[in-house]
Amino acid sequence: MANPQQTQEVAQRFIHALNHLEDEGDGALDELLDLFADDARLRNPVIQRERQELQGREDIASFWREYRESFADIHSDFSEVTANEHAAGLFWHSHGTDKTGKPIEYDGVTLLRLDDSGRIADFQGYYDSRELVTGAPARS
């Protein structure tokens, strides 16, 4: 990526694709996956608690599929996006219901590091996993 504006555009495409996945389910998965590099890495507190990270499109596809299937409904609102030449920080609040209909809410930040072709090479989410009482694999 050459400039912060291009990184900002990738971040906005990610937000759109995530919201589409949250609204439509698996039918919108490819739109999100197309933003990731073939060898991308994905980490968050739940994954790291198990001392692992996900890598590659197959792992990342499974993660996003499980994320969406973990909720009856979910929506993420993004309050701020900051960007430089190769990275973006996305601040968000997610709310919805778990599979039993119980309300769920949590806040966090997602860091996206892009490769030279402008695809997401490293995705790292930060949030308080104690906020998730449903056991969902929370995305960010």
In CATH, what number is assigned to the domain containing residue 110? 3.10.450.50
Mean predicted confidence (pLDDT) in 101-110: 93
Range(s) of the domain holding residue 115: 4-131
Specify if 123 maps to a domain: yes
pLDDT of residue 136: 45
Specify if 67 maps to a domain: yes
Number of domains in the chain: 1
Q: pTM of the entire structure?
A: 0.89
72: number of CA atoms within 13 Å, CB side? 10
Specify if 136 maps to a domain: no
Judge whether residue 132 has pLDDT over 80.
no
Specify if 116 maps to a domain: yes
Identify the band that residue 129 occupies on the pLDDT scale cut at 50, 70 and 90. low
Identify the band that residue 137 occupies on the pLDDT scale cut at 50, 70 and 90. very low
Specify if 34 maps to a domain: yes
What torsion, rounded to 10 degrees, do the Cα atoms 44, 47, 48, 50 define? Answer: 170
Specify if 22 maps to a domain: yes
Phi, psi of 86 (to 5 degrees): -130, 5
pLDDT of residue 1: 55
Specify if 87 maps to a domain: yes
| Reduced DSSP (H G I as helix, E B as strand, rest coil) percent helix, strand, coil of the chain, to 5 | 35, 40, 25
Mean predicted confidence (pLDDT) in 77-84: 97
Q: What value does the mean pLDDT of the chain take?
A: 90
